[in-house]
Amino acid sequence: MIKIKKLNHIYKNRTENAVKNINLHIKKGENVVIIGSSGSGKSTLLKCINRLIESTSGSVLIDNQNISNCHQKKAEKIRANIGMIFQNFNILERETVFHNVLNGRLSYNNHWKTIFGKFSKEDHDIAKECISRVGLHEYMYEHTMNLSGGQKQRVAIARVLSQQPSVILADEPVSNLDPKLMKEIMDLLKNICVEKGITLVTSLHFLNFAKKYGSRIIGMRDGKIVFDDKPENLTEKDIVDIYGKTKDWYLYGKAGF
């Protein structure tokens, strides 16, 4: 589903690559969790996958289509198949739950049509179904600014679902939530992806959490992949390879769980 070859990204005015020579194959329906300390390149890698940022070299293929080296129009088309979830929810606070989720249908419609609010009945039905799936049916016409953090992330998940994506990239989707909500949201995301056969790639900070939710763990350090295996094969040595010999690494495993 996702094939990454020799991917590099260097930000302007930086001397070090943020991601270095990444080679990675992710199969359809896989549930991959990326871990690594702050600055290790998790977000950069996720953003290169859907070309929110341009890779400096290398390629990313989504379902055998090269998103990293094609026209913007084509990239937009490929991106319609990839949902993205962020730590800070990225929803429109002044809009209702329904409108936020309906916006997920944008990529399926002509731009001019959507400017004039001409979504089809099918778009409306899909949006409503997605809102129900994340348990927000009774908040359908509520403004999202009145919702709690957990509910806002549910709106973001519903919006991504309404895109009917094959891949979901979630960049620290639960970092702004308390431990109980973290679990609720991760359960929801994982169950939805299993149910619909969606490939899920999530970056997470807490180790125990990553082991619980991922069926494959990718450990990053200084822009490189230093671990790629099943959670049960993650040893203490691997953890030191990922987080370094800091006395604090155990915090990643302890917090919240």
If the CB atoms of residues 40 and 166 are measured against ligand ATP, the closer one turns out to be 40
Q: Is the Cβ–Cβ distance between 31 and 190 less than 8 Å?
A: yes
If the CB atoms of residues 43 and 166 are measured against ligand ATP, the closer one turns out to be 43
CB of 45 to Mg ion, least distance (A): 9
Query: Which of these ranges, 20-28, 34-42, 62-70, 131-139, lies near ligand ATP under the rule CB under 6 A?
Result: 34-42
Query: Which of these ranges, 43-51, 63-71, 119-127, 188-196, lies near Mg ion under the rule CB under 5 A?
Result: 43-51
Query: Quick one: which of 36, 8, 19 has its CA closest to 249?
Result: 36
According to CB under 5 A, which one of 43, 55, 103, 162 is a site residue for Mg ion?
43
Q: What's the one-letter identity of residue 241? A: D
Q: How many CB atoms lie within 10 A of CB 236?
A: 8
Residue whose tokens read 């390629």? 59
Does residue 248 belong to the site contacting ligand ATP (CB under 6 A)? no
Does residue 162 belong to the site contacting ligand ATP (CB under 6 A)? no
CB of 169 to ligand ATP, least distance (A): 12
Say how far apart CA 2 and CA 197 lie, in whole Å.
14
Helices 149-162 and 121-133, packing angle to 10 deg: 140
Does residue 41 belong to the site contacting ligand ATP (CB under 6 A)? yes
CB of 36 to Mg ion, least distance (A): 9
According to CB under 6 A, which one of 31, 44, 55, 103 is a site residue for ligand ATP?
44
Positive or negative CA dihedral for 10, 91, 177, 125?
Answer: negative
Query: Quick one: which of 248, 246, 215 has its CA closest to 229?
Result: 215
Query: Quick one: which of 3, 8, 110 has its CA closest to 66?
Result: 3
If the CB atoms of residues 18 and 225 are measured against ligand ATP, the closer one turns out to be 18
If the CB atoms of residues 30 and 172 are measured against Mg ion, the closer one turns out to be 172
CB of 43 to Mg ion, least distance (A): 3
Does residue 11 belong to the site contacting ligand ATP (CB under 6 A)? yes
Q: Which residues contact 127 (CB under 8 A, 6 or more apart)?
A: 98, 101, 102, 104, 105, 158, 162
Does residue 43 belong to the site contacting ligand ATP (CB under 6 A)? yes
Contacts with ligand ATP by CB under 6 A lie at: 11, 14, 18, 36, 38-44
